[in-house]
Amino acid sequence: MKRPEILAPVASCDMLDAALRAGADAVYLGIGKFNARQNANDFGTMTLADIVRECHVRGVAVHLALNTLVRQEEFAAVLETAKEACACGVDALIVQDLGLATAIRQAAPDMVLHASTQCSCHSPAGVQALAALGFSRVVLAREMSREEIAACVGQGAEIEVFAHGALCMCVSGQCYFSAMLGGRSGNRGLCAQTCRLPFAVAGKADRAVEGRDAALSLRDLALYPYAQELATLGVDSLKIEGRRKRPEYVAAASAVYAAAADGEEISESLKTDLQSVFSRSGFTDGYYTGRRNAMFGMRRKEDVTAASGALSRLQQLTRAEKPRVPVRFALTLAPDQPAQLVVSDHDGHTATVTGDLPVLSERPMSHERISQQLSKTGGTPYRLEDLSVQAADGLSLSAAALNALRREALAALTALRGACRPIAWREPTLEVHSPVDRAEQWWVRLSDAGQMTDTVAQAAETVFFPLDTDPAILTKWADRLTVGVEIPRALWGAEDAIRARLADAKSAGATVALCGNIGALPLATDAGLSPIGGFGLNVANTATLAALQSQGLTAATLSQELTFAQMRQPWGGRVGALVYGRQPLMLARACPRQNAVGCQGCDGRNGALVDRMGVTFPLECHRKTAVEVLNSTPLWWADKLEELPPLDFKLLHFTVETAEEVNRVIAAYTVGGSNPKQITRGLYRRGVEYQKTPPDFSGGVFTLMFIYRSIRNRRRHARSH
């Protein structure tokens, strides 16, 4: 059984020191703006090259996060960051944007790529698809059970699992809540932690946590009791969340998970300190174990006060350098020749130094005494593993001379281990596409087959039905228009059932499948259906579209976080945009309604959340596999169609609407009609990052105030925006 790597977060020199001294095998960090924690990086004067050198000396790998979506105009800048990482000898790049990954693979074939959890991968087919795109490791979604994780092992890539830290309510890479309400995009590294705000399930005043509602706030994850089991499953890396946390948190988590991975007993006091230094109403293992009914919690007053007592104790974990690198010494003492000491490590580095001339002694230093002197490696990352001594009879060295040899040898070894090992880089060639005529079709996505009407059939060229639609209904409409089915964005171990339903849909006349997850593409192509990319694939640049086309994609819905201006470019393929609908803001596995009142009386469309301002956000439940939080107001462009860019299709995304409401919307978009009372223009005009980023207080009161002001402003100007 292979011991999994312990991967720790670092965002400052103190956090780096804590990770190195407490037992992490690898660290991950971000530089610049192309990482999912833009506000969390402060290494002072320490450069990326310095960080890599310090880590490599200690045998610790460095993973650089480039895990945000990249817009077309940003490609040159992000590639410069990747080029710098190659020059510094970074061990791996963590990437979300599939187009960026393709460009890096072209420029630096030897650079290791890890697929970020922002890729939303949670199925064997998804792992296979990412491996085919050049990723050697996949960071799985955090919502997976032990059985689902096990199924993803051995699918062509290493598996990394988040094992500790904050749990987003939403599947990573599928959250648009912060962007829609406040202009700060989680896909762009500026999440404002909207899910930590007070939300209640409609009809239930759930005030269990210090008078605040926690309908979208989950407890922190802790899987250290399962470290050995995860190793048995074949997991290669256990990742600790927390680039915004304190160094003491990094030290505690690194120490606990290193001990757990080694099968060592963890003291109760250290477990308590780990929870005390940061948690939200304690820890949860609900996703991993399948017990998802007790996962919700907020940061309480007692959680905050508990941290103060733990900090001083946890600082003891980083007092001394951890001797993690085993070395071998070979000492040679020969007549009339300077003493020679050779030091070597397990990574192939060897250094040789010479010292004083040995002297004849009636009582030469014993092997044990020599070993004792050379073992004094305190304050360094080295520990003596083996010693060989070749000494002529009667020759000896003083303790001071041996100490000097040891210091010089280890300094020489440190220079070798810290030497930069750059990765070759050649400038990639990015395709330039020519403008083409667009088809300008109307496409419709339905959440229920009962929404289908003759009005829809007359207006739309393509209609996507739910995957569980009766095949007879698909057959009924297949002669009049292009019929498709939507593969759920949440697959969760249901691939076999989905394959069976896709086969039925194909037989019933369906020809296309709407795919909102990377794992859905091979399912569609295997069934003989043409994959159409949904908004969940986050297509934000032409390189990403091309990468997905290499996996069989025939058309794509562009990212909801692009503006219409950014969509006005040659794409090199068929593209469209979602122009109507209550936009999905979150895709979650832990259902807030089920947690508050259970599933009784839920038809999948009658649940809702209410924020503290009284605004209602509908919930769309998908057969107990996932729930989507929908926007409080519908996206509306029927009265401004002239502003839409040239597109192959305009997608009307229906969720909780009745058939009559569907007809009214279709009419408004095709022949004209009145606007609803409350609408939003989404992000298509204003985009994301349109306001100055506020100071980061890790979801504290200042961030919450910023979000509330943003929500208030959005509502005041809903129609104009």
Tell me what pLDDT residue 612 has: 85
pLDDT band at 706 (very low <50, low <70, confident <90, very high): very low
pLDDT band at 709 (very low <50, low <70, confident <90, very high): low
Cite the DSSP H helix spans in 209-280: 227-233, 247-261, 268-277
CATH of domain 5-167+220-263: 3.20.20.70
Instruction: Give pLDDT tens digits for 7-17.
Output: 999 999 999 99
Tell me what pLDDT residue 605 has: 78
Q: Do domains 5-167+220-263 and 441-716 have the same CATH topology?
A: yes
Lowest mean pLDDT among 393-397, 457-461, 713-717: 713-717
458: tokens are: 């007359």
Residue 288 has φ and ψ, to the nearest 5°, of -65, -40
- Beta carbons of 171 and 589 less than 8 angstroms apart: yes
Residue type (1 letter), 250? V
Tell me what pLDDT residue 27 has: 98
Q: Is 558 helix (H, G, I), strand (E, B) or coil?
A: strand
Tell me what pLDDT residue 292 has: 86
369 Cβ neighbours under 8 A, 6+ residues apart? none
Tell me what pLDDT residue 238 has: 98
Tell me what pLDDT residue 702 has: 39
Lowest mean pLDDT among 231-240, 300-309, 388-397, 706-715: 706-715
CB neighbours (10 Å) of residue 240?
27
The arithmetic mean of pLDDT across residues 363-371, rounded, is: 92
211: pLDDT strictly greater than 50: no
Residue 486 has φ and ψ, to the nearest 5°, of -100, 120
Q: Fold for domain 441-716?
A: TIM Barrel (3.20.20)
Lowest mean pLDDT among 257-261, 275-279, 342-346, 471-475: 275-279
Tell me what pLDDT residue 206 has: 46
- Beta carbons of 338 and 355 less than 8 angstroms apart: yes
The arithmetic mean of pLDDT across residues 300-329, rounded, is: 87
CB neighbours (10 Å) of residue 385?
13
Q: Which DSSP letter does residue 335 get?
A: T
Residue type (1 letter), 336? D
Domain boundaries, the chain: 5-167+220-263, 325-418, 441-716
pLDDT band at 699 (very low <50, low <70, confident <90, very high): very low
674: tokens are: 């009145």
pLDDT band at 427 (very low <50, low <70, confident <90, very high): very high
Cite the DSSP H helix spans in 69-145: 75-88, 98-107, 124-132
H or E stretch at 114: strand 113-115
Find the farthest-apart pair of alpha carbons in the chain and give their distance in angstroms, rounded: 109
Higher per-residue pLDDT: 443 or 592: 443
Residue 362 CA to residue 360 CA, distance in Å, equals 7
Q: Kindly state the percentage of the chain with pLDDT values over 70.
A: 93
With DSSP H G I counted as helix, E B as strand and the rest as coil, what are the percentages for the chain, rounded to 5? 35, 20, 45
Q: What are the helix and strand counts (H, E) for the chain?
A: 23, 29
pLDDT band at 695 (very low <50, low <70, confident <90, very high): very low
Instruction: Give pLDDT tens digits for 265-314.
Output: 999 999 999 999 998 888 999 999 998 878 998 888 788 787 778 888 99
364: pLDDT strictly greater than 80: yes
Hey, CA dihedral for 144, 149, 155, 160, is it positive or negative? positive
Residue 573 CA to residue 570 CA, distance in Å, equals 8
pTM over 0.85: yes
Residue with tokens 């085919």: 132
The arithmetic mean of pLDDT across residues 140-168, rounded, is: 97
Residue 150 CA to residue 148 CA, distance in Å, equals 5
The arithmetic mean of pLDDT across residues 503-516, rounded, is: 98
What value does the mean pLDDT of the chain take?
Answer: 91
Query: Based on the number of CB atoms within 10 Å of its own CB, is 243 exposed (0-12), middle (13-18) or buried (19 or more)?
Result: buried
pLDDT band at 205 (very low <50, low <70, confident <90, very high): low
Instruction: Give pLDDT tens digits for 61-109.
Output: 999 999 999 999 999 999 999 999 999 999 999 999 999 999 999 999 9
Residue 68 CA to residue 118 CA, distance in Å, equals 8
- Beta carbons of 10 and 247 less than 8 angstroms apart: no
Q: Using alpha carbons, list the distances in angstroms from residue 241 to 117, 264, 529.
A: 12, 22, 38
Tell me what pLDDT residue 710 has: 52
51 Cβ neighbours under 8 A, 6+ residues apart? 10, 16, 29, 43, 62
pLDDT band at 456 (very low <50, low <70, confident <90, very high): very high
Higher per-residue pLDDT: 57 or 708: 57
Q: What angle do CA 128, 132, 137 make, to 5 degrees?
A: 65
